[in-house]
Amino acid sequence: MFKVTNATGGYGKTTIIRDVSLEVKAGEIVALLGRNGVGKSTLMRYATGLIRATSGYVEIDGEMAPPSPAKRARLGLGYVPQGRFVFPRMSVTENIAVAAASNGFDAKKTVEEMLEDFPLLRPKAADLAGGLSGGQQQVLALARALAIRPKILLLDEPTEGVQPSIIDEMAGVLKRINADREIAMLVAEQNLDFCLSISERAYVMEKGAIHMETDRDSLRADKELQQELLGV
Amino acid sequence: MELDFLATVLLSSLSSASILLIATLGLAVVYGLMGVINLAHGEFLMVGAYSALTATQIGLPYPLAIPFAVAMTMLIGATVELLIIRKLYGRIFDTMLATWGLGMVFNQAAVLIFGTVSPGIGMPQWNFQIGDYSLAFYPIAMIFVAAVMLAFVYFLMTHTVYGMKARASIQEPQMAQAIGIDSSRVNTMTFAIGCGLAGFAGAILLPIIPATPSMGLFFAVKGFLTVVVAGPVALTGSAITALGLGGGASVTASFMTSVVGDVFFFLMTALLLWLYPLGISANWRRKL
Amino acid sequence: MFEKLHSNAGLIFPLIVAGAALAFSGALDPYLAFVATSWVIFGLLGLSLDVIWGRGGFLSLAQTAFYGLGGYLGAVIAINFAPSLGLSLLWALPSAAVFGALIAAALGYLIFFSRMGELQSTILSYTFTLLLWSVTQTFKIDIGAAVIGGDNGLSNIPGIILGVGEEAKKLKPNAAFACVVFISAVVYFFTRWLMRSNFGKIVDCIRIDIEKTELLGYDIRKFQVLNFAYSGAVAGLAGALFALWANYLNPSIFSVQEALLVPIYVLVGGLGTLAGPFLGALIIGALSFWLGGGAAGGQTTLILGAVLILLVMFLHNGFLGALDNLWKRYLPDPNDAARDAGAVKIDTEVLDQILSEAAEQAGPAKNLSTDEAFKSFGGVIPVNKVSREFKPGKPYSLIGPNGAGKSSFLKTCVGIYRPEGGTILLDNDDITRAQIFDRVHKGMGVKNQKPQVFGENTVFENLWIAAFARTKDRAAADETATRILNMLGMEAQKAVQASALSHGQQQWLDIGMVLCLAPRVVLLDEPAAGMTNEETRELSLLVRTLAKHTTVVVVEHDMEFVRTLEGHVTVLHQGNLFAEGDIDTLRANDAVLDIYLGRGEHV
């Protein structure tokens, strides 16, 4: 479904991720764990095509991904970046509409669908996205990514700066989307419990490389690994 | 002071402010939606004027010469974007220097092709009376043209898919790509539209401002100042700035000399930039 | 041998060229000498732009304005005095230089003290030139014997006269050429000296990283205005020379065509090289001479416009820049030493000694406190009425989930963000509205999240410029920088460019620069980011030692690191103070675990 093979890349002259390979199967939610600065976000950006690839390649739905991020999006790659990056001077509606329209979907219908799915956004529909709170922006970034009807969704720290109550809700929403729309997901997180609650399988990164692959139960049992991951 | 005199001054000042806005809108679009300052903007205006002039000379009626001028400038604009601007993304000052050089090339090319003096287009002069004063109709009509043009651009940028894409591309360029927007195509379009607006301005203003190779410079100074004073919320900001500064300078000029009006304009912008070093709209929460 | 020649190339080659020009000036064809004089003058004008753009980082399009104004004023004075007293140079040049400097200073004050955006600054400078162009078209005034006649221009300007009295004759073209070459050489060598002086070093730093320069405590606005004034003086001087050379001025000196040429000279020759603009003016001048002489008729502007476009797109380093890159390939790379850099080891004794001496020089540690500090961005409130006091003794750690407002709180204290409410005190000094450099003067030392070093400068220069900000004395700065360099164990990397260092080494260098300031309050934003475990341990040691002498606040989310600091811990959450205590108390606090570690029950 979604495969990254031998990914090596970084910013400018610095290489941050080296020879990373991972796979997400259809309908699966996979977690990408690791402390700050191990290269999770860089890997995400590599997958979207937003940073220069030194070597390696990405496959989306069985097809080799072209270098252009826009073309990857049209192949069905959705991306919720760390820090949300909603379009601040566009309304909530426009944020969703532009994503749908850019991929040839009916903007109006998609907006209505998303407001249905995320009732939290409805009262804010006409507001500028830049004025929303962090949690609301996070939900909007998710709705925007879903508006392109992705087959695989990359989520980079979706719980960052989000209140606990919304985190719970978000976990529920992601599970529901995963089940209803059969969207596979790769979630980079530092919030271990959030990951344990939604994903079956996890990759653990360290120093720009995949350190190990594990499943939910062994992760739960392995206190030492948990502590190492959280740095507590 | 009589009421009819005041009304005359007010109307003609509003008219000069509108003319400034007409000449500036394209610049504001390119700056606001691409983050690029096109120093050749004035020359695109000149190209528009000459295109319209040439079209009328070969027998096209003036109303049809205007769309011809727009098409010409959009075509040239798109070419320039593909050949030059695109290579200089993210290097705003290099873009400025390159478009500056481009402006000179256009200017000199116009001198070579058309000479320095051009015939005006023979348009009947309509006048109307306010009290004791007689006003030319066409410049006053520019108030209406400016309003329509502003509304059109605003609608284009806020209510069309292209407009949404263009705004998304400037606000979060990487995310715009990540949701499937082909930013480079959008930018070519935006630059072409900006140049087309300049061409429209040159053509529509032809009856009052005859085509000369250096006509662009006349607008350039005020246009650039208007746009940088306006800041990131380019359309609304430019409209307000053009109205305030252009109108103010025109009022000053009608009581004193036009040079004093220019000096007033410059000093006011310097003062505004002192107060708002990143433009008056730096903290506004508006779409455009 | 070749390395020495390379580092002194800006001295030796111009000396040779200037010497040759003087030696052969007599042998030139008089008409060529006459035309070539203008090329040298244009080179001087280009130099004025290189000073403010290539070195200062501000693309000023107002250089021809200072040039023209200097020319007009110099000419007016020369017209009035030279016919009876001779010595036209003496009358025209100093007055023009001063006038150019004053105008540039006034414009620069407006631009730099308001902290105008880059784009706004450039456009304002451009329109200033165009405004002069339009104003001078109709500007008519008689000043003594000088008649400024709007677009009729100003004529009867005397030539270059070196003799005294009524009888003194103007120089012949060949002698005038030699005279202008001599003056330009003097200006060039003075400029070169100035740009290598302390002043020039600071100007370079402003170009490379303006925020960091201010964080070292330099009042960047003053340096920018002074540099601009100097560039205005050079331009004004060039203008006066031009007036004496041409014997006639008109408003076209302020025209766009004229202004366009200046960045072309600089770009052709090489931006920031100082000598480049002369070479550029020579190349362009010779080219126009040849084109204007028949090859292309009146299409010179057309060609120059196209040349500018091509230069910007394809040859950004210019001629000298390209030559320099080529030469460097055959020289040993000083950055090689970066590769064999060892791990940093902190010697607490040395550090203790450095810090107690710093305390003697800079006074005792200061408390930092905030009272209801408030900052919002739209709907997001990263700092929500935070009141907290920080004292010396033990390090303070600010922790909290991403987006809790830690960095924003720190930026508010530093002055990068202006708080919308509340006060910030340094001891009893209210610094809520103080400029950043002012806070640094008062003892604040700041290290931002990303390492901020001056990449083009060497490791030692980086430390030195920081030390000089405090000591204002070369020798003392040398000593401080050397000590910190030794403490960091980077002696071998002394001459390495900071940009060639690894991320972790850059972090250390940045921390070293902060130490050079002998700060009384130290604010560190995620200093351990990008460091190896070993480096993190050393950093912890450094922070603990530092805290004995000064107040230290660290923003960090590496919990392991925070624990080793053994200090106070403050938890921020959604812009608010959430909890406080030592790390063990907080770890027992369920609420903290909930927000920070995410112990919530999920679906």
- Hey, where are the domains in chain C? 14-254, 348-597
Residue A177 is part of a domain; what is its CATH number?
Answer: 3.40.50.300
| B contacts of A131 (beta carbons < 8 Å) | 285
When comparing pLDDT for A167 and C530, which is higher? Answer: A167
Write the pLDDT tens digit of every residue in C132-169.
888 888 888 888 777 787 788 888 888 777 777 777 77
Write the pLDDT tens digit of every residue in C571-582.
888 777 888 888
The Cα C555–Cα C545 span in angstroms is 17
When comparing pLDDT for C531 and C318, which is higher? Answer: C318
Chain B nearest CA to C128, separation (Å):
8
Report the topology of domain C348-597.
Rossmann fold (3.40.50)
Q: How far is residue C143 CA from its own chain's centroid?
A: 40
pLDDT value at position B32?
A: 87
The Cα A7–Cα A22 span in angstroms is 9
The Cα C216–Cα C220 span in angstroms is 10
What Rg, from alpha-carbon coordinates, does chain B have?
Answer: 19
Q: Are C251 and C153 in contact (CB under 8 A)?
A: yes
| B contacts of C123 (beta carbons < 8 Å) | 37, 224-225, 228
Q: If you average pLDDT over each of C58-62, C140-144, C335-339, C356-360, which comes out highest?
A: C58-62
Give the per-residue SS3 of C285-329: HHHHHHHHHHHCCCCHHHHHHHHHHHHHHHCCCHHHHHHHHHHHH
| B contacts of A90 (beta carbons < 8 Å) | 164, 167-168, 171, 287
The Cα C354–Cα C489 span in angstroms is 15
DSSP string for residues in A132-150? S-HHHHHHHHHHHHHTT--
Q: Above 90 in pLDDT, residue C315?
A: no
- Find the DSSP H helices in B117-257: 137-159, 161-171, 173-178, 183-204, 215-230, 234-241, 247-255
The Cα C224–Cα C230 span in angstroms is 10
| B contacts of A128 (beta carbons < 8 Å) | 285-287
A88–C602: do the CB atoms touch at under 8 Å? Answer: no
Closest Cα to residue C243, out of C380, C148, C338?
A: C148
Which residues of A lie closer than 8 Å to C, measured between beta carbons?
14, 35-37, 88, 128, 130-134, 136, 157, 159-161, 163-164, 167-168, 171-172, 175, 190-194, 196-198, 230-232
User: At C58, which amino acid appears?
Assistant: F
The Cα A200–Cα A31 span in angstroms is 8
A91–B287: do the CB atoms touch at under 8 Å? Answer: yes
The Cα C417–Cα C291 span in angstroms is 55
> Hey, CA dihedral for C436, C556, C425, C368, is it positive or negative?
negative
Q: Above 70 in pLDDT, residue C595?
A: no
Q: Are C64 and C258 in contact (CB under 8 A)?
A: yes
Mean pLDDT of B27-42: 90
Contacts of residue B8, defined as CB under 8 A and 6 or more positions apart, other chains included, come to: B130, B131, B133, B135
Q: How many CB pairs under 8 A join A and B?
A: 85
* Helix (H) / strand (E) containing C398: strand C396-399
Q: State the virtual CA torsion across C49, C55, C56, C60 in degrees, nearest 10.
A: 20
Model pTM score: 0.83
Write the pLDDT tens digit of every residue in B184-235.
899 999 999 999 999 999 999 988 888 888 888 777 778 888 888 888 888 8
The Cα B198–Cα B192 span in angstroms is 10
Write the pLDDT tens digit of every residue in C394-406.
889 888 766 677 8
Name beta bridge partners: A24. Answer: A2
The Cα C125–Cα C104 span in angstroms is 10
> Taking the CB of residue A143, how many other CB atoms lie within 10 A of it?
25
Residue C552 three-state SS: strand
The Cα C305–Cα C292 span in angstroms is 15
Residue from A75, A102, A110, A154 whose CB has the most chain B CBs within 10 Å, to mutate: A102
A161–C401: do the CB atoms touch at under 8 Å? Answer: yes
pLDDT value at position A163?
A: 63
Going by their DSSP bridges, the two strands C146-149 and C444-447 should be labelled as unpaired
Angle at B125 between CA B123 and CA B129, to 5 degrees: 160
Q: How far is residue B125 CA from its own chain's centroid?
A: 25
B269–C127: do the CB atoms touch at under 8 Å? Answer: yes
pLDDT value at position C454?
A: 92
Q: Above 70 in pLDDT, residue C294?
A: no
Write the pLDDT tens digit of every residue in C476-526.
899 989 999 988 888 888 888 888 887 778 888 999 999 998 888 999 988
pLDDT grade for A162, boundaries at 50, 70 and 90: low
Domain count across chain A: 1
Q: State the virtual CA torsion across C497, C501, C506, C508 in degrees, nearest 10.
A: -100
Q: Above 70 in pLDDT, residue C460?
A: yes
User: At C419, which amino acid appears?
Assistant: P
Q: How does DSSP classify residue A11?
A: E
Mean pLDDT of C242-260: 85
Going by their DSSP bridges, the two strands A77-80 and A152-156 should be labelled as parallel
pLDDT value at position B35?
A: 85
Closest Cα to residue B198, out of B62, B287, B71?
A: B71
Contacts of residue B67, defined as CB under 8 A and 6 or more positions apart, other chains included, come to: none
Question: In chain B, how many H helices and how many E strands?
Answer: 12, 2
Q: If you average pLDDT over each of C74-78, C130-134, C230-234, C345-349, which comes out highest?
A: C230-234
C109 in contact with B at a CB cutoff of 8 Å?
Answer: no
Chain A residue with Cα closest to B282 = A89
pLDDT value at position C601?
A: 43
Please give the structure tokens belonging to residue A194: 């959030």
Place of tokens 């263009």: B166
When comparing pLDDT for A227 and B61, which is higher? Answer: B61
Q: Are C462 and C454 in contact (CB under 8 A)?
A: yes
> φ, ψ for residue A6 (rounded to 5)?
50, 40
How far separated are the first and last CA of chain B, in Å rounded? 40
C309 in contact with B at a CB cutoff of 8 Å?
Answer: yes
Distances (CA, A) of C505 to A37, B234, C510: 16, 43, 9
Chain A residue with Cα closest to B186 = A102
> Taking the CB of residue B35, how many other CB atoms lie within 10 A of it?
18
Please give the structure tokens belonging to residue C150: 């709007």
The Cα B123–Cα B112 span in angstroms is 26
pLDDT value at position A96?
A: 95
pLDDT value at position C599?
A: 47
Q: Are C484 and C525 in contact (CB under 8 A)?
A: no
Chain B nearest CA to A136, separation (Å):
18
Domain extents for chain B? Answer: 12-115+131-229
pLDDT grade for C602, boundaries at 50, 70 and 90: very low
The Cα B186–Cα A91 span in angstroms is 20
Mean pLDDT of A9-24: 81
> φ, ψ for residue B91 (rounded to 5)?
-115, 75
Mean pLDDT of C551-567: 83
Write the pLDDT tens digit of every residue in A75-87.
999 999 887 889 9
Question: How high does pLDDT run on average in chain C?
Answer: 84
The Cα A159–Cα A134 span in angstroms is 10
